[in-house]
């Protein structure tokens, strides 16, 4: 129930940031809904396709799709408010990231997948929404360039997986992973933590 609430908050916040991105590219209302939905539920969709985990969440529960489309469609009217309160959205997005990571790990565990794949599942669920948004909007994929985002998802998943295996109980595992994952992401933002960057200037003959 806690996780479902955070999931809905997460997809709403992600849908709105996706819609802003569509607005920056001057898309029409359909484009706005499309990018909003891809950003919000793209991560879980890619994960389920990679694992052959059918039916997809939004196919079985179309109201999630309605939420992301509505969140996308109202964004044009509240865009300046969203822009002024971006810190709020960054916070909601961090909450959503932690929730997505736990859900992704849970799905892979329920399928009996390898521990490493459970953590990769957290990562995929956490990052692919933003990655799809950036590919569709034709901008450099943020999550591959800077900011601690993928690592937060991976660590949150690893923590949740370990706590469940240590038999601390579903609730404690969920709350602890949420708090630590959320705190990790917010700390990374505040202190500007990031991974080292690989710069390679290649002769043009190499590809």
**In whole angstroms, what is the distance from residue 185 CA to residue 187 CA?**
5
Question: Least distance (Å) from a copy of itself to the CB of residue 36?
Answer: 10
Which residues, 6 or more positions from 51, have their beta carbon under 8 angstroms from its beta carbon? Answer: 107, 108, 111, 113, 121
**In whole angstroms, what is the distance from residue 160 CA to residue 125 CA?**
14
Question: Least distance (Å) from a copy of itself to the CB of residue 175?
Answer: 27
CB closer to a copy of itself out of 119 and 164: 119
Question: Least distance (Å) from a copy of itself to the CB of residue 6?
Answer: 22
Question: Least distance (Å) from a copy of itself to the CB of residue 167?
Answer: 24
CB closer to a copy of itself out of 59 and 172: 59
Q: Token pair of 2, please?
A: 């806690």
**In whole angstroms, what is the distance from residue 79 CA to residue 16 CA?**
9
Of residues 91, 92, 98, the one with CA closest to residue 153 = 98
CB closer to a copy of itself out of 171 and 196: 196
CB closer to a copy of itself out of 174 and 189: 189
- Which spans of this chain sit near a copy of itself (rule: CB under 8 A)? 17, 19-32, 34-35, 45, 49-52, 54-56, 59, 62, 65-66, 75-76, 79, 83, 86, 113-114, 116-117, 120, 135-136, 138, 140-146, 150-151, 194-203, 205-207
Question: Least distance (Å) from a copy of itself to the CB of residue 171?
Answer: 29
CB closer to a copy of itself out of 133 and 174: 133
**Helical pair 2-24 and 86-110, crossing angle rounded to 10 deg:** 120
Bond from prior residue into 45 cis (ω within 30 degrees of 0) = no
């Amino acid at each position: 129930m806690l996780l479902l609430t955070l999931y809905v908050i997460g997809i709403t916040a992600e849908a709105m940031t996706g819609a802003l991105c569509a607005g920056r590219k001057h898309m029409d209302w359909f484009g706005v809904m499309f990018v909003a939905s891809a950003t919000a539920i793209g991560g879980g969709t890619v994960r389920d396709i990679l694992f052959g985990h059918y039916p997809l969440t939004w196919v079985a529960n179309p109201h999630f799709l309605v939420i992301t489309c509505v969140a996308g469609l109202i964004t044009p009217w509240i865009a300046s408010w969203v822009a002024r309160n971006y810190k709020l959205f960054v916070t909601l997005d961090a909450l959503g990231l932690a929730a997505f990571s736990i859900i992704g790990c849970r799905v892979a565990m329920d399928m009996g997948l390898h521990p490493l794949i459970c953590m990769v599942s957290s990562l995929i669920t956490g990052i692919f929404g933003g990655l799809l948004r950036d590919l569709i909007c034709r901008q450099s994929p943020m999550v591959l360039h800077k900011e601690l985002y993928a690592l937060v998802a991976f660590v949150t998943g690893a923590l949740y997986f370990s706590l469940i295996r240590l038999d601390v109980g579903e609730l404690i595992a969920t709350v602890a992973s949420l708090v630590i994952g959320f705190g990790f992401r917010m700390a990374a933002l505040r202190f500007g933590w990031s991974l080292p960057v690989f710069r390679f200037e290649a002769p043009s003959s190499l590809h």
